[in-house]
Amino acid sequence: MTTPLICPSILASDFAKLGEEVRAITEAGADWVHIDVMDGHFVPNITIGPDVVKSLRPHSNLPFDCHLMISPVDAYLEAFKNAGADYISLHPEAGPHLHRSLKYIRQLGAKAGVVLNPATPVDILDWIMDDIDLVLVMSVNPGFGGQSFIDSQLRKIEVIRKKLDAVGHPAILQVDGGVNAQNAHLCVAAGATAMVAGTAVFKGGPSAYAQNIKQLKGL
């Protein structure tokens, strides 16, 4: 079985020490840094904006994976790219022209991701296959860390894996929400190649991060 990329969600970190936390997960073996951006409108919580991303950029050389849960979204894409985002992912429900938004992310020079909420059908992928570098399957409803994994999303991962493989698509297939050492291997078996994890990485404090990441990788 392939080893998944581990993308710790800094939503579960100590916000008073964000720079330190990003350095700690980088040293602990994380592959990407997952940054959850929430606006209190598209989702019922408010978190991080581009200025914080910019301040964090010097603290790690890992790819920054910005998961935008904001609406409208288009007007902020350039700011996140300029702040240092490598991957920018958005929800189809966040704007009127998904195809245009994805094209724009790539034009800016970032990798483009599309995020499917638990109830969002997979067909949305059919006409944007050439415009995505990443598909993110939400295994919780977006807005908060610490929720329970929704099992039905394993079937969705399987369906998307088939869709991608049918055309030899190289997109990363990422899962986000309630991922832990107990279900990570099920996500990988279903075809996921990257795991976002907040609670499961940051539990126990900095001295536990390396072991937590190792367990998620199934090592």
Residue ranges that bind ligand DX5, judged by CB under 6 A: 9, 11-12, 34, 36, 67, 140, 142-143, 145-147, 176-179, 196-200
Pairing of strands 33-38, 194-197: unpaired
Tokens of 61: 């050389």
- The residue number whose beta carbon is nearest to ligand DX5 equals 198
Please, are residues 5 and 32 in contact by the beta-carbon 8 Å criterion? yes
Side by side, the strands of the sheet bearing 33-38 are: 5-8, 194-197, 172-176, 134-138, 111-116, 87-90, 64-69, 33-38
What is the DSSP track for 162-199?
Answer: HHHHHTT---EEEEESS--TTTHHHHHHHT--EEEESH
- Identify which of 67, 68, 63, 66 has the alpha carbon closest to the alpha carbon of residue 31: 63
Choose the one of Zn ion, ligand DX5, none that binds residue 143, judging by a C-beta under 5 to 8 angstroms depending on kind. Answer: ligand DX5
- For position 31 contacting Zn ion by CB under 5 A, the verdict is no
Find all residues with CB under 8 Å of 121, minimum gap 6, and list them.
none
Exactly one of 31, 36, 65, 133 is catalytic; name it: 36
Find the binder of Zn ion among 31, 39, 133, 176 (CB under 5 A): 176
CB of residue 22 to Zn ion, shortest distance in Å: 15
- Encoded one letter per residue, x for contact with Zn ion by CB under 5 A and - for no contact, window 44-83 reads -----------------------x----------------
Exactly one of 39, 65, 133, 176 is catalytic; name it: 176
Q: DSSP letter at 195?
A: E
Rank residues 104 and 149 by Cβ distance to ligand DX5 and give the closer one.
Answer: 149
Which amino acid is residue 154, in one-letter code? Answer: L
According to DSSP, the residues that pair with 88 across neighbouring strands are 66, 112
Rank residues 90 and 196 by Cβ distance to ligand DX5 and give the closer one.
Answer: 196
CB of residue 54 to Zn ion, shortest distance in Å: 19
Choose the one of Zn ion, ligand DX5, none that binds residue 11, judging by a C-beta under 5 to 8 angstroms depending on kind. Answer: ligand DX5
- For position 36 contacting Zn ion by CB under 5 A, the verdict is yes
The residues annotated with a catalytic role in the active site are: 36, 176
